[in-house]
Structure 1
Amino acid sequence: AEDAEYQFRVVAQNEIGESEASPASEPVVYKPSQPGEIEITSISKDSITIEWERPESDGGKEILGYWVEYRQSGESTWKKCNKELIKDRQFTVGGLLEATEYEFRVFAENQTGLSRPRRTAMAVKTKLTYKPDKPEGPIVIESVLKNSVVISWKPPEDDGGAMITNYIIEKREAKEGAEWELVSSSISGTTCRIVNLTENAGYYFRVSAQNTYGISEALEVSSVVIMKPPFGQPGQPVASAVTKDSCVVSWKPPASDGGAKIRTYYLEKREKKQNKWISVTTDEIRETVYSVKDLIEGLEYEFRVKCENLGGESEWSEVSQPVIPKSDVPIQAPHFKEELRNLNVKFQANATFVCKVTGHPKPIVKWYRQGKEIMSDGEKIKIQEFKGGYHQLIITNVTDDDATVYQVRATNQGGSVSGTASLDVEEFLHRHSIGHFDIKPDNIIYFTRRSSVVKIVEFGQARQLKPGDSFRLQFSSPEYYAPEVHHHDLVSTATDMWSKEWNTVVSVARISCGGAIRSQKGVTVAKVKVAPIDIGPLAGQINHAAAEEGGHAKYVCKIENYDQSTQVTWYFGMRQLENNEKYEINYEEGVATMYVKDVSKSDDGTYRCKVINDYGEDSSYAELFVKGVREMSENYRCRAVRKVKRRVDAMRLLEHPPEFTLPLYNRTAYVGENVRFGVTITVHPEPRLTWFKSGQRIKPGDDDKYTFESDKGLYQESLLSYEHHASSEEKISASEEKSLEERTVHKAFKSTLPATILTKPRSITVSEGETARFSCDVDGEPAPTITWVRAGQPIVSSRRFQITRTQYKSTFEISLVQISDEGSYTVVVENSEGRQEAHFTLTIQRKRIPEKAITSPPRIKSPEPRVKSPDASGQHFVRPLFGCCF
């Protein structure tokens, strides 16, 4: 019944009788509750704009829209404002009387009917109109050129109850008897360029605001403005990359450009013993670097530079230090060995752009932001150069203002090369742990018809994310909602549909707290859980093992943060091991053990213990050294171990396990010579390093011939030195050492990596009805997304198709394979730095049918009554009503 409240309860019944009734539900109202409080956002002489909050309850059905009514204070009759339902929760009521009080009320409507109205708390009075106040000061001198100036101001605090139609700008020359002259009376904005002024003269300016009721008082500049631009001179030129007839000259731009973009630079040269300056080129120089050619070998040259904009020319810079062309270096144009990569960083984190440049002579490298050269200040902006041609731009404490396009340009006598990259900064909502889980088109509007700026008008599916909390979300069309919502996964800011890039890295374990309930109206209610902050199992260190053929090896891994859902899997290389005659695998109460029996040469290699639960995963590695397999009788290994406490923020790990960015390399040396092994580990916080010889740990102090060194910082180097007594005739070459050094610098400062497939899925053949399993290991920073594709369409988990994902691994299983599953498949990995895909095939081996079974067509021996029934395609087929014998 309409306007009635209902409660519900449930009684269970079996053959014996009925149970007691369940507790009653909360009262259900089919109509929505009244809208929230009404707020007055704008008042003019003939209109009032109101906004209101959503109803606390929608009555179990979607809110279709709102109705607004008004009346003059003292009247009894309400009048409708809108002819159609309002989707937005704001409305401007026009056509009102000046200086008159009004009341407003708002109704919400769903399919059942109207809610009770929400009224304004008090009457609202329209404005009494008059001329505006004077514009708000001060007048700001934006730029000064030799015969023009740009000024700006703020609108008046009170517009007099009517819209400002225009501003009036006047000028007066600063001399006795001068009068005010009109510049313009049709300026609609709050900025004006005033032209046709006299160079070096002084002026006063004033601004008045106008509406339909009059002109305000004037706002005047506080002091005289002299038409001479405060134009700084460029920095002192520096000559470098000298050859026998050329050099590269670079300089810094002026500290002030006088309010107008620098149009060109003028570069001059002279012989040190001469007084005459000569222009190096008649072409326009747009950059702060130039390759000067046609110099005479043996002469001494000096350089100076000045710049020009619309306001005129600057003073000449200081003279450069003299340079003598004399060396003859083969010229090679600049080239990027490693280019810039786009960055996506958190708010107030540091952004680091890195590139590697080669060229002869050494190129001059400069950085630019939106076309303007960036200067290092040592705090906000840091520009650094490293050995091997690496150049780095660091932007500290990034904000939304830093999110733009950056450019690097390298120049020498052979030419110039440039590269660009963009910087994205985590959005505002994520900084406050707010996730927004839908992108319904109804909730997105443009500010104006021509604007590219959008406004989100409905945040109904936005939530403050508190670790461990559960809440319900409603959705109808899955494509408008984050996949974690309709898959009932852990959610976080990474689940946000408004993220700048899609990032669906979530726990491989599915959290289904009650599942989803679909209503008759096509609305699904999903219960989801917010990802905890402090989660994830930790795999402890596993000792290496050495064995002879026919022997056995034992590995033990102790696990921290384990629970009932923790699962343990052992791998040899990429192959998953199973409990059988070869491998004995046990796991109990946080201790995982694995025996390798009857060891053979093929068992030599790396073993991995992988632990996983509902909140994360971890792995630990160990080597098995089988005697006589590896080339060296003495094997040295370095292991970096840290008790990793995983913290999940937007499903990204804040702390990472150690990673060998420069691995261990074999060494050869003369007898009696010292040998140094070195590794580089990128990690935070500091790891613990352990060195092994033939599987046995080397401890400091065990033997005087071993020394250990370690450098700590952004990356860590550990060096193991010892007196080598093996027989050898070769030393490591200087080029190899240089290559290792360059890789160290590169890895240490590389903040992103393109998505890469480490192990591709193998094509396999399985029998009909069996299970097909494919796996893929990936790498990349940020962590890439992994998508399994067939015939151009992404594969989603279903009854027969199961996809499990972790941050850097995904598995795809097809159970009870059918002939229709045969064919080609693709796995695609992608992040902001790149994309890669791998193709593989599934072949189905059909089951053979005995010859006797196909010698004659089937026939019904004992027919039963039959009935026509439609199949899934809508066609009819004949089936027995009760059954028959074939």
Structure 2
Amino acid sequence: MAASPARHGSGAVWGLGVNTRRDNAIVTADLWVRGGSSAAVSSPSGRVAQWRSASIVAPRLKRRAPLPAAIVLRETESELSFLQEPSDVIAVRDRPLMLHCQVRGEEPVAISWRKNGAPLAAGGRIRVLLNGTLLIGSFQKRRDGGDGDVGEYDCAAQNRYGMLVSRKAKVALASLPKFYTHPASMSVDEGGVARFQCQINGVPEAQITWERDRQPLDTGDSRYTLLPMGVLQVTGVRQADAGVFRCVATNIANTRYSHEATLNITGTTASYKEPVILSGPQNLTITVHQTAILECIATGNPKPIVSWSRLDGRSIGVEGIQVLGTGNLMISDVSLQHSGVYVCSANRPGTRMRRTALGRLVVQAPPEFLQWPQSVSKTAGGSAVFTCVAQGVPEPHLIWLKNGKVLMPGHNVKLTNNNR
């Protein structure tokens, strides 16, 4: 949808342009304004991108000098731009933390920092180095009902042309609370399938390993499959697999052990058993270029054959596709085209008897700019237009900033499309 530019009595000109694409939403936004602005774009997933600033310069004119009709596009070294912006980081309690901020532009350039939108006062544990880096000498966790040093930080650079604000960097505290899911004891026929799972919320994500009888598990055995979501699968179980299992979670904050679970082997069975899917794929949301693992483990006698398909009938393909263990699907370097509902089927050999389980894979793309605003030189009283185009999944939300502050529509400012 597009609307032709309209001219209003105030002399301000504004318009609306929308351009969308189904697989990767494209957002176009125009800003018609007198003044200088920069912009940022974010998505519901919390990811944010920001472009370099664009400015409007009104040249000084002698009295009664005629107003030039042309708009002059220009880009100079006087304008501020970031060489390095602060990035998301996980801090460790009582250890130092640094957030970097490097800016290019005409000197002098003043660097300041904000936490959760409020100015951050330097002093004591908190210092701003000469190169603009923020140093927190000893990171502290929440206390007295506050969040301590945890929060969102951004740096602001200012010179005589205006102010430019960086992306927001999320600073979290490393932690490893107790397990919220522990492995459960089970009895399995010899030759059958065993599955244990433990779950824990760690920051950063904990590395999970397993022990049997309090000794590290031999993961070189092809019958053992470890999945990143804290799952241990054992296929073709033997008497030697019997024992007490537990998982170990480790990250930079701590190491924790789960409760113990016993695996009992009950003996060989020759009786017929219909296919059963012990655990099927779970709904999963990830970002492009990450790896997706969809679990599917089945048991039965005779041993069922596990296969995968898409509910929409499209081919899964072969590039980047791998089967882990006896039926888990791994997709490396996922793209938007991998989004969909996946079907795991457990078939009894030689028959049409089967069991199925479904899981939805959602692939998101972080916001990125396709078109940036350009700086212009304008006479006082004239009109200028800044245009940006961004794409991402989900559809990004565009935000305009002027000298580091969110720009709101007014009598001389018009914002179009997606500036909700």
Would you call these one fold, judging by a TM-score over 0.5?
no
Larger radius of gyration: 1
Bigger relative contact order, structure 1 or 2 (CA pairs below 8 A, ≥6 apart): 2
The structure in which a higher percent of residues are strand is 2
